[in-house]
Structure 1
Amino acid sequence: MKNEHGFTLIEMMIVLVVISILLIVTIPNITKHNSKINDTGCEALTKMVQAEVQSYYMEHNEYPESTTDLEEESYITADQQKCTNGKELIITNGVVSTSGTENP
């Protein structure tokens, strides 16, 4: 019999089992942190829009009534009015905050 080089079926099965175990351990950890990642991104977006509110105030000597005013004046884009977790940004007396409800 010739000495052929290659992997046996057993070796391939062992590699697949190891990769499967790594995926089973890793995927739940990633999904568990997904909401924290979205919340952190929303906080960053809120701070960025707050800076744009201040810029708007410096130019117009009044605060915008809503994020729509900022969009119309090209301070923000339409997709920057809502966080990735679905919460909308609202402006009250020059302070940017998120709405309490999520809109998926």
Structure 2
Amino acid sequence: MRKARKNQKGFTLVELMVVVVIIGILTAIAVPVYNNVTENAANAAHDANIKIIQGAVEMYRAATNALPTKVDDLVPSYIAEWPTVPAGASGDRTEADYLNAGGILETALTKE
């Protein structure tokens, strides 16, 4: 048999495998949590964009006593640029359309 070396340095295969398993478990927990957080952030950013557009529409309506009929009515006078849908926003959130439905401003999210 081999003689045991004194002052051996390094890790055994079992120790390395335990570390790999622990890293795998932590990754399995962290990745779904991270994905959920990024999706929620994208949805919150999208909702904030909608509120900005609604505010611009309200300012336009206060100034002209009418609702805008196209994006050019709002850009650049009431809003610097038309916001885009953040990457990672879920569902049918692709484009915001504003309709004058009987004098009521409503938001419809449509698919591109």
Interval of TM-score (by shorter of Structure 1 and Structure 2):
0.5 to 0.7
Q: CA deviation at 1:96?
A: 5.1
Q: Number of aligned residue pairs: give it.
A: 100
Structure 2 Cα separation of the partners of residues 52 and 71 of structure 1: 9
For the pair shown, the structure with the greater C-alpha radius of gyration is 2
Q: CA deviation at 1:90?
A: 1.1
Identity %: 26
Amino acid at match of 2:108: T
What residue in structure 1 maps to residue 26 of structure 2? 22
Q: What is the CA RMSD across the aligned residues, in angstroms? A: 3.0
Shift in alpha-carbon separation, 1:3–1:89, aligned structure 2, 3 A: same
Structure 1 residues 38-77: Cα deviation after superposition (integer angstroms, max 9, x where no partner): 4443322211111111222334443221334222436142
Please state if 1:102 is matched with 2:111. yes
Q: TM-score, normalised by structure 2?
A: 0.61
> Any stretches of 5+ residues in structure 1 without a counterpart?
none
Q: CA deviation at 1:9?
A: 3.3
Aligned with 2:97: secondary structure? strand
Please state if 1:88 is matched with 2:95. yes
Larger RCO of the pair (alpha carbons < 8 Å, separation 6+) = 1
Q: Which has the higher helix share?
A: 1
Q: TM-score, normalised by structure 1?
A: 0.64
What residue in structure 2 maps to residue 57 of structure 1? 61
Structure 2 Cα separation of the partners of residues 5 and 18 of structure 1: 22
Flag as ranges the 4+ runs of structure 1 deviating above 6 A. none
